[in-house]
Chains A and B, each alone.
Chain A
Amino acid sequence: MSRPEDTLAADIHYDDVEARKYTTSSRIQNIQASMTQRALELLDLKSPSLILDIGCGSGLSGEMLSAVSEEEGGPHVWVGMDVSASMLDVALQRDVEGDLMLADIGQGVPFRAGAFDAAISISAIQWLCNAENSDTSPSGRLSRFFNGLYMSLKRGGMAVCQFYPKNDVQKQMITSAAVKAGFGAGLLEDDPNTKNVKLYLVLTVGSSAVASKGGDITGVVAGMDDVEVQDHRRKGKTGKGEIKKGSKAWIIHKKEQMELKGKIVKATSKYTGRKRRIQF
């Protein structure tokens, strides 16, 4: 399938025609609704909260936030940011309840520190990987966005960003930018290895966000069914620092290196690396 991200900038791609098409397509509406539902499930909000909707578009995801029933901790109040004026125009016509702002998330998130309980983003942040002109770079846009988002969330807050990375490089770029900004980050993959794979970047601010769930990012999905945790973080120290210079392991390692270079190396025996006894 073609990716609009590859050809045009977000504000130019989503013109009046494209914005209307996007919003009235029942297929897109269904997908957006189910992804927003999943994001809300991950956020696990217990009481009415103030939520930032990043790349809110025509308010498809925002509508769901306003519609959360009282028993489930809603209804939430949200503020939406989007770079496409046409999308916001459609949102105005649909009379959504949240506050809308025309802003480019690659320029930062202009809110004061600790403003929001949570943030949600549906199919938006992959746009950050494209730089439209020579003044900006994807890495600069990503770091400005994540730094701004980190600041504007309260301590103990959470963000869930669903995105469509083009390839593993983009996925890596986005997650590492988030970690660099200070977030605790995890990736949730729905329907892996299928055409419909959905990636959710789960971000936490401060350790208290997941303190009630074991203090680790993997705790976010603890109560969910059918979620398998794969932890690729390195455990403890890496191998390199542990070998002491001059030790037997170090000598053997050096001998292997020399052997690979084609040098003649004495065979390793039980005497390798031993101190010679003082004879006299």
Chain B
Amino acid sequence: MKVLTLNFLTCAVKTCKSSSDSFPLHPKDAELASDDVEVNPQLLVNLLPRIDWNALRTTSTELGFPQLPEQPPTAEELGADEKVLKDLHSLLIETQIMEGKLVCGHCGHEYAIREGIANFLLPSHLV
């Protein structure tokens, strides 16, 4: 599971829909892997306004990456600075969570990740 996807995932439990704690999900015991993917600047520029930067900062700290700057880079900075682009690309697209758990901050439900696939199936009483 890419860090990019994690930035969009919320808890699927019905009672968590209205709570702000259900996003972002917190990775636990995460085993990371890095894939080689070609940099796609246009894609990152498209995605940038939709990324929740605060959530991304939390996630990257929890995964043990260096602290991200407080403000997200602007589209111009991405275009101008190759390093910013590369760093963002390697964090969002190349970093994969292979094994571990995702924990909801509101209800505490744990979603298991195995071989990079998160299990979001819920028992019917939580739907």
Compute how far the CA of A102 lies from the CA of B115 in the bound complex, rounded to whole angstroms.
12
Within 8 A of A (CB), among B14-29: 23
Q: Which residues of chain B are within 8 angstroms of A187 by Cβ–Cβ distance? A: none
* B117–A75 touching, CB < 8 Å: no
Chain A: minimal CB distance from B2 (Å): 5
Q: How far is the CA of A107 from the CA of B123 in the complex (A)?
A: 10
- Contact status B93-A136, CB under 8 Å: no
In the complex, A64 has a CB within 8 A of chain B: no
Instruction: Give B11's nearest chain A residue, CB to CB.
Output: A110
Chain A residues 33-59 with CB under 8 Å of chain B are 47-50
B83 within 8 A of A: no
A8 CA / B125 CA spacing, docked (Å): 22
Taking a contact as CB atoms closer than 8 A, the residue among A48, A77, A100, A114 that contacts B4 in the complex is A77
Interface size for chain A: under 10, 10 to 19, 20 to 34, or 35 or more residues?
20 to 34
Contact indicator A49/B46 (Cβ below 8 Å) = yes
Q: Does A133 contact B (CB under 8 A)?
A: yes
CA A63 to CA B116, docked complex, whole Å: 17
**Interface hits, A139-158 → B, CB 8 Å:** 144, 152, 154
Complex contact A135–B9 (CB within 8 A): no
Contact B2 A114 (CB under 8 A): no
Known pairs A99-B4, A107-B122, A135-B125 / 15 extra A-B pairs, C-beta < 8 Å = A49-B46, A50-B47, A75-B40, A77-B40, A77-B43, A92-B116, A92-B117, A99-B116, A100-B116, A101-B117, A103-B120, A104-B120, A110-B10, A112-B52, A136-B124
Q: Please report A residues at the B interface, Cβ cutoff 8 Å.
A: 47-50, 75, 77, 79, 81, 83, 88, 92, 97, 99-104, 107-108, 110-112, 114-117, 133, 135-136, 144, 152, 154
Kindly state the separation between the CA atoms of A49 and B4 in the bound complex, as whole angstroms: 13
Instruction: Decide if A112 touches B10 in the complex (CB within 8 Å).
Output: yes
Q: Which residue of A lies closest to B1 (CB)?
A: A99
Q: A102 and B23: CB pair below 8 A? A: no
Known contacts A77-B93, A110-B120, A99 near B115 by CB under 8 Å: no
A101 and B50 contact, CB distance less than 8 A: no
